[in-house]
Amino acid sequence: MESVKRVLDEFWNENPEMHHSKHCIYQGKKLEEVNNLYFLENKINLSENEIIYLVVHGTTFPGLPGWKAGGLAITNLGIHFDTHKDGFFSSILMFPQGPKGFMNFEDLKSIQIGEHDRCYGTSYNGHNLVINGEEYGLIRMAKAIEYDEPLIKYCNQLFTKLVGVCLDSPPDIVKFPGTII
């Protein structure tokens, strides 16, 4: 979908602060940094003609491959995602796998980065990925112990820009009032 790529590219170019390596978003030339990313190699299954436009994937701890971070990738066909369960004991249970999969643009109505995790402890574990109004699970939006507010804001604003292109509605701040927009 060229119209999706155009919106992604325009918004990326309007926000050069997101190009900094501290943000866990990979788009444009920065996408080359994640060619062998564990998330891309082991957590999503690209079809033969699929092209990645954007990846959001944080890290859990320095030196670990990111197998417990979750993430999302927007391609020319839709969105791939890998999440971990959001529950009080999730951090103690080493973040059990949540839903993962693919949703094509035809079935996609809305996307947003929702509420902060509900896990035991004070460390940041992730934010809920909300697709079509349903919370799927946690994806990590940072490289450090605290979440990356500019990245969350960027994603939710980007999803608002995709309304009418591949989405039907923007992030729902009434249903998810803690969402940063």
Domain assignments of the chain as residue spans, ordered by start:
2-161
Across the chain, what does the average pLDDT equal?
83
Is the per-residue pLDDT at 156 higher than 70?
yes
For residue 95, which phi and psi values (nearest 5 degrees)? 55, 80
Sign of CA dihedral 59, 73, 130, 86: negative
Helices 149-161, 2-14: crossing angle, 10 deg rounding: 140
Q: What is the 3-state secondary structure (H, E, C) of 24-81?
A: CEEEHHHHHHHCCCHHHHHHCCCCCCCCEEEEECCCCCCCCCCCCCCEEEEECCEEEE
User: Region 41-69: what's the mean pLDDT?
Assistant: 75
Better-predicted residue by pLDDT, 116 or 160: 160
Q: Does 45 or 171 have the greater pLDDT score?
A: 171
Which one has a higher pLDDT value, 88 or 11?
11
Compute the distance between CA of residue 156 and CA of residue 164 in angstroms, rounded to an integer: 15
Please indicate whether residue 46 or residue 6 has the higher confidence score (pLDDT). Answer: 6
- What average pLDDT does this structure show over 157-177? 92
Stretch 111-119: mean pLDDT: 77
102 beta partners = 80
**Range 74-85 average pLDDT:** 90
- Mean pLDDT over residues 41-65, rounded? 78
Residue 110 to residue 79: CA distance in whole angstroms: 11
> Could you tell me the pTM of the whole model?
0.87
* Res. 140 pLDDT band, cuts 50 70 90: confident
> pLDDT tier at 121 (50, 70, 90 boundaries)?
low
Q: Answer yes or no: is pLDDT of 124 > 80.
A: no
Classify residue 76 by burial, with Cβ atoms within 10 Å: 0-12, 13-18, 19+: middle
pLDDT-derived band at 87, boundaries 50, 70, 90: low
The neighbour count for residue 45, using CB atoms within 10 Å, is: 10
Q: Is the pLDDT of residue 63 over 70?
A: no
Q: How confident is the model at residue 66 (pLDDT cuts 50, 70, 90)?
A: low
